[in-house]
Amino acid sequence: MVRYAHLIPLFPFAAFAVNILFGRRLRKASALVSIGASFISLAIAAVTFIGNARCGEGSYMVGRWLSFGGISLDFGVTVDPLSCMMLMVVTVVGTLIQIYSIGYMRDDQRFSRFFAYMSLFMGSMLGLLLSDNFVMLYIFWEGVGLCSYLLISFWFERPAAAKAGMKAFITTRIGDTGLLIGILLLFSATKTLYFRDLGNLGINDSLLTVIALLIFCGAVGKSAQFPLHVWLPDAMEGPTPVSALIHAATMVAAGVYLVARTYGLFLAHHSSLIWVAYIGAITAFMAATIATVNNDIKRILAYSTISQLGFMMLALGVGGYDGGTFHLMTHAFFKALLFLCAGSVIHAVHTQDIFKMGGLLGKMKATGWTFIIGALAIAGVPPLSGFWSKDEILSEILREGHPVLFGIAAVTSLLTAFYMFRLIFVVLFGKPRSELHAHESPAVMTVPLGILAAFSIFAGFFRPVEFEPIMMGVSIAISAAGIGTAYVFYILGNKILPAPLRARFSFLYKLISNKYYVDEIYEALIIKPSMRLAGIAAAFDSKVVDGAVNLTAYLSAVSGKLQYWFDLYIVDGIVNMAANITWLCSAVFRRLQTGFVQNYILIAFFGLAIMILIKLTGGQ
Amino acid sequence: MIPQNHFLILGAVLFAMGLYGALTRRTAIGILMSIELILNAANINLITFNKFIGGPDGLGQVFALFVMAIAAASAVIGLVLVIAVYRNMKTIFTEKMNILKW
């Protein structure tokens, strides 16, 4: 049995504490603190992983936490294949991204602050993975949300970054509210919050469905599924390593992980699963189409992430638990790789517009080739990792008998291959489209790229896949078609955009390039009315509430003035009068106090003499 | 045997000397010394009256001893005060010590 998994999140948390408290003094050494902590976590995670593979499930209780009304809540740790796999992914990817950040954030003023947040982010995510009940999960869930806010708006001097952080926080909060209600509902209905009990709850189906959908709400927010996907592209305002961490290992993986972790709840009733599948399918397709027309290197990758997450949700929704979680792992590696490559490119050329780049492969060999490996992996070219997981998802969708969903998934795969190679062809090949002074990034950035590229290639072999020749042929054909189309459009066509096509489908193009107007719809339907409501509330506040407060203040002031007057003339008058009387008396009597000792003695003597005289004369 | 009046006259003379000294001396030490004379005059009277008028044997002497002890203690305090005043005001003339006066 493995008994030290609960130590894994502690090291990043400790690194956070050290960096946040002593960051100023540590300066660049704070990177070493964070990376060291990550390495220790990685080592423990590896030991846990091996132990789990050898001895099977090793969940255990760490300590009693709360105990109330006959119900107790424990600090427990879940060690099963799912959490072990994710622990490995998060620690490996997180560590590599932190190493990469040394190079990327080298000149940043808040260097140590950045590493502190990164450690906190990793710690929260690791804690989330290990939680064995909803309450712990929710705590770390919010921790992850907080860190995403802090890191997305890390360059808060830029208004766009500050706004993006807020958007991410508020949008995910909507989902989190659903999750919280779901947890409370589950608790009130079943009095249990442990994941291990989710298989057989013994409550009626409709309630179960409601709970499952509410919990799914949380996953929708965190994993940027339609209709709460709007925050993820804006999250690109953060530093690129953060984007990589959010997109690959931590934040968005949390949503998929939540669904996988509470899968028993969804399996219990099929209508909730179908919701998951359709939301996933819509998201996957929508985001993929947007990615095909976007021009910002990071935003393309962001939409690609949304699309791939939709894929995972779709897989989970049709019952493909293995495919979904497998894709979660492979995606973590190649998406981290892609983001770090994009970061390296941005670091070199200082622009994010792909149509200002071009021909970078010659100048940035390491970055370019790893970029291509990542793109091949995500496009699903065998034998790279993306192929195996995507293939498994596609065959699972078909096996479960959802032809419509299969169609959407197939088109999405095609689009994935297309937009990735559009990016590759435009950025890396051809001639530079503007004045670029590209140079290869330092080794501290390219070495993590190499390691991640290796993972992207070989992660697919981590688990056996059954060979289905027809299915494989289909998925290879899809990838080839996507890449081929991109080749025709952007290399052979030798035009910046396939203009005639765009002209023909101008309505569609406009719809897609405006991201289906989701942001605008939210603006019109939710944000504007909210703002108006807020305006009314503000007016009410400033006119009525403030008026009442001001009136009270005015009355207080008047009564204060009255009291002041009373105090000044009546109370003080009496006191002063007493003082004056005393003073007048003292003016008379102080004459007695001559200050000469002999005077006093003389008076005392005469007084005594008089008293004796009176005594002697007998008082007559 | 010396008659009572002699003692009383001695006491009265001592008292008068003490009083005169206390009233006329300008220095605080002089006043203190004069007060000691007054106390000794009182002591002589106490012993005399105990001897000639009655009361338990030795009561007057005991009383006189107490007075002497207390006089010594008060003299110490008085001298200390004089020294303290001298340190602060550089004088022992009582008419100069008037900072507490109105």
Nearest to A395 by CA among A483, A469, A330: A469
Residue A9, both tokens: 């999140």
pLDDT of residue A599: 83
* B54 to A118, A273, A459: CA distances (angstroms): 105, 123, 125
* pTM score, whole prediction: 0.70
Residue A311, both tokens: 């894929």
Which chain A residues touch B94 with a CB distance below 8 Å?
A: 596-598
User: How close is the nearest chain B Cα to the Cα of A556, in Å?
Assistant: 45
Cβ–Cβ of B95/A596 closer than 8 Å? yes
Cβ–Cβ of B31/A593 closer than 8 Å? no
pLDDT at position A145 over 50:
yes
A61 sits in which H/E element: strand A60-68
pLDDT of residue A1: 44
Lowest mean pLDDT among A568-572, A598-602, B56-60, B98-102: B98-102
Assigned domain for B13 exists: yes
How far apart, in whole angstroms, are the C-alpha atoms of residue B48 and residue B50?
A: 5
More confident residue, A573 or A84: A573
Assigned domain for B97 exists: no
Average pLDDT over residues A362-380: 81
Which chain B residues touch A596 with a CB distance below 8 Å?
A: 94-95
Cβ–Cβ of B100/A596 closer than 8 Å? no
Structural domains of chain B, count? 1
CB-side neighbour CA atoms (13 Å) of A236: 20
A602 in reach of chain B (CB within 8 A): yes
ipTM above 0.90, yes or no: no
3-state DSSP assignment of residue A361: coil
Lowest mean pLDDT among A244-258, A480-494, A580-594: A480-494
Contacts of B59 (CB under 8 A, 6+ apart): B50
Assigned domain for B24 exists: yes
pLDDT of residue B63: 92
Residue type at position A170: I
Residue type at position B97: M
Which segment, A301-315, A362-376, A581-595, B34-48, is predicted with the most confidence on average? B34-48
Provide the β-strand partners of residue A77. Answer: A60, A131
DSSP code at position A442: P
* A7 to A43, A84, A351: CA distances (angstroms): 11, 14, 41
User: How close is the nearest chain A Cα to the Cα of B69, in Å?
Assistant: 23
Contacts of A451 (CB under 8 A, 6+ apart): A96
Assigned domain for B41 exists: yes
User: How close is the nearest chain B Cα to the Cα of A617, in Å?
Assistant: 20
B99 in reach of chain A (CB within 8 A): no
Lowest mean pLDDT among A54-58, A128-132, B37-41, B81-85: A54-58
How far apart, in whole angstroms, are the C-alpha atoms of residue A458 and residue A371?
A: 16
Average pLDDT over residues A141-157: 86
Best of B19, B27, B95 to disrupt the A interface by mutation (most A CBs within 10 Å)?
A: B95
Assigned domain for B25 exists: yes
Query: 10 Å Cβ neighbour count for A85?
Result: 20
Q: Confidence class of residue A150 from pLDDT cuts 50, 70 and 90? A: confident
Cβ–Cβ of B19/A596 closer than 8 Å? no
Percent of chain A scored above 70 by pLDDT?
91
Average pLDDT, chain A: 81
CATH number at residue B46: 1.10.287.3510
Assigned domain for B99 exists: no
Render pLDDT for A438-457 as a digit per residue (tens, 0 to 9): 677 777 777 878 888 888 88
pLDDT of residue A500: 63
Residue B57, both tokens: 């044997």
How far apart, in whole angstroms, are the C-alpha atoms of residue A288 and residue A309?
A: 11
Candidates A590, A593, A602; nearest CB to B23? A602
Q: Is B102 exposed, middle or buried (0-12, 13-18, 19+ CB in 10 A)?
A: exposed
Assigned domain for B102 exists: no
Residue B21 belongs to domain spanning: 4-91
Cβ–Cβ of A601/B23 closer than 8 Å? yes
Percent of chain A scored above 90 by pLDDT?
6
pLDDT at position A65 over 60:
yes
How far apart, in whole angstroms, are the C-alpha atoms of residue A293 and residue A422?
A: 10
Which chain B residues touch A595 with a CB distance below 8 Å?
A: 95, 97-98, 100-101
Average pLDDT over residues A74-86: 81
B67 in reach of chain A (CB within 8 A): no
Assigned domain for B96 exists: no
Residue of B nearest to A590 (CA): B102
How far apart, in whole angstroms, are the C-alpha atoms of residue A338 and residue A298?
A: 9
Nearest to A305 by CA among A385, A249, A372: A249
Render pLDDT for A548-565 as a digit per residue (tens, 0 to 9): 999 999 999 999 999 999
How far apart, in whole angstroms, are the C-alpha atoms of residue A273 and residue A495?
A: 44
pLDDT at position A495 over 60:
no
pLDDT of residue A400: 77
